[in-house]
Amino acid sequence: MRYAPAILVGRSVRTLARLRKPGGGSAVPGLVVNRIAPGYLAHALNSFAGGLVIVSGSSGKSTTTKMLVAALRAHGRSVFTNPSTANISQGLTSALLEEADLSGRIARDIAVLEMDEGHGALIAPQLSPRVVALTNVMVDQIDRFHDPEMVAGMLARIAHRATGTVVVNADDAHLVELAEALHDRVQFLRFGVTTEVLDRSRHGLGHARQSEERLPAADGVLVTAVDGRLATLSVDGFEHTINLPARGVHYATDAAAALATAKAVLGEAFDAGVACAAIGAIPPVFGRGEVVSIDGQNVEFVLVQNPASFQLNIDTVDTDAPKLFAIGSDVRDPSYFWPVDTSALGSVDIVSGSKAAELALQLAYDDVRIGRVEDDLARAIDDFLAAPPPSRGMKTIIFSADSMRRTRAHLGLTADTEVVS
C-alpha cells in the first residue's frame, strides 16, 4: 500500500482537472503522481501477470496498438491499454490511475502500451517488458528527434529491456541492424511487405533507411497485396484478407506488426483467422482516416505528423474531394515538411492554422491550387462545412496534431465519437 497516498492524490487532481475543464487535463494527475511517487509507474507496469507489451516507433504505433489489443481480446485475454493521446510518462500514469486499486495494481491479464520513443527510452531501465514491438524509424519532429539515428538509439534502449521477444519491421534498415545486434539475447519476429507491394507504393514506405532485401514469406508476417482499405497478409504461409481502418500500405504494415506481435504474445494459442477478423472490425484511431458524420455530412479526417506520414497519407487522399488543410503550432519549423511532394492533392479549398502562410507557400510551389488562406481555424472549419457537399466523395480535413485537437474541440468531438467507417 506504499503508493496509496499518491494514488488518492492523483485521483483528487483528476477530479479537479475534469471539473475545471471537462474532457481535458488528462496528463495532470500523472504529472503529480510521478512527482510525488516516482517509482509508481514502473511498479504498476511490471505487475501484470501476463507481462507488459510495448509498442513504439516513429509512426503507426497508435494504430498498431489498437489492432493488437483487438486481436488479444478476441483470444479471450483481458487487456489494459492506454489511449493514443497518453503515450508519454505522465499520460501513462494518468491512464493507470483510471483502473488501479490502492495498491497500484490493475486486474487485467496483460498490459499493451503505446509508448513515445523518447519517453519510453527514459523509463525503459525501470521496465521488464515481455514483448517489444518496433514499427519503424523515420525522420521525425526535429525539435525533439534531431536525426533518425537518435530515434534508433532510443528504440534500442527500449528493445534491450525485452525479456522474451522483439518484433521488428524487416523493411527498416535501422531495425534490421538492431535485430542483428540483439539476436543472441532475445527471440525475434519480423513483418514486412513484398516487392510487388513496395513497387506499387508511390513514395516507398517512408523509412529513413529502407532495407535492400524483402522479407521471405516463411520468415514472418508479410503484406502481399493492398487495395484501398483491403489488404492480404501471409501468416505462417497462409494468406488472409483483412479490412484496414484507413487506406494505404502503411496501415497494412501496421496490421502486419499487430499480427506478428499477437503471435509473439500468444504463442501456440495464436489463431491468425481470429486475429485478422478482430483487426478488420476496429474503427480508425481518431484523426487517422476516420470518417465522422457532422451535421448530416460525412467528413474524413487525415492526420499528418512527420514528413513520412504526411507523404503517405496525402498520397491516398481523393484528389477531387474538397479539402481543408491546417498546420498548427506543433510544427515549429514548417521547412521540416518541404521534402514532401504535395502535388497529388491537386487543390485545397482552405489553408488554415497558425502556420497557414508557410503551408500555402509550400503548396503553391507544388502547383496545388489554393482557394483561400484563412488564419482563423474555427472560421475556416465553419466555412468549409457550410459549403455545398461534393457531387462525389466527401469533404476531407487534413491536419497536424495541434490543428486536429483544435478542430475536434471546435466541433465538440471526443475520442468516443462514433465514426462512420
Distance between CA atoms of residues 21 and 98, nearest Å: 17
Name the nearest CA neighbour of 171 among 60, 31, 16, 324.
60
Contact (Cβ atoms closer than 8 angstroms) between residue 234 and residue 221? yes
Average pLDDT, the chain: 86
Q: In this predicted structure, what is the pLDDT of residue 418? A: 47
State whether the Cα torsion 268-76-220-188 is positive or negative.
negative
Q: In this predicted structure, what is the pLDDT of residue 415? A: 57
pLDDT at 238 over 50: yes
pLDDT at 414 over 80: no
Contact (Cβ atoms closer than 8 angstroms) between residue 127 and residue 46? yes
Which H helix or E strand runs over 177?
helix 173-182
pLDDT at 326 over 90: yes
Distance between CA atoms of residues 261 and 245, nearest Å: 18
Name the nearest CA neighbour of 217 among 252, 242, 244, 190.
190
Distance between CA atoms of residues 365 and 368, nearest Å: 8
**Each residue's pLDDT tens digit, 124-173:** 888 899 999 999 998 766 556 667 888 889 999 999 999 999 999 999 99
Domains of the chain: 50-88+106-280 (3.40.1190.10), 288-411 (3.90.190.20)
**Each residue's pLDDT tens digit, 253-294:** 999 999 999 999 999 999 999 999 999 998 877 667 788 888
Give Cβ neighbours of residue 300 (< 8 Å, ≥ 6 apart). 289, 290, 291, 321, 394, 395, 396, 397
Confidence of residue 374 (pLDDT cuts 50, 70, 90): very high
Q: In this predicted structure, what is the pLDDT of residue 319? A: 86
Mean pLDDT calculated for residue range 110-117 = 90
Which H helix or E strand runs over 261?
helix 249-266
Contact (Cβ atoms closer than 8 angstroms) between residue 391 and residue 319? no
Percent of the chain, pLDDT > 90? 49
pLDDT at 419 over 90: no
All three cell numbers of 177, joined, read: 541492424
Which H helix or E strand runs over 260?
helix 249-266
Of 81-90, 163-172, 200-209, where does mean pLDDT reach its minimum?
A: 81-90
Q: In this predicted structure, what is the pLDDT of residue 202? A: 77
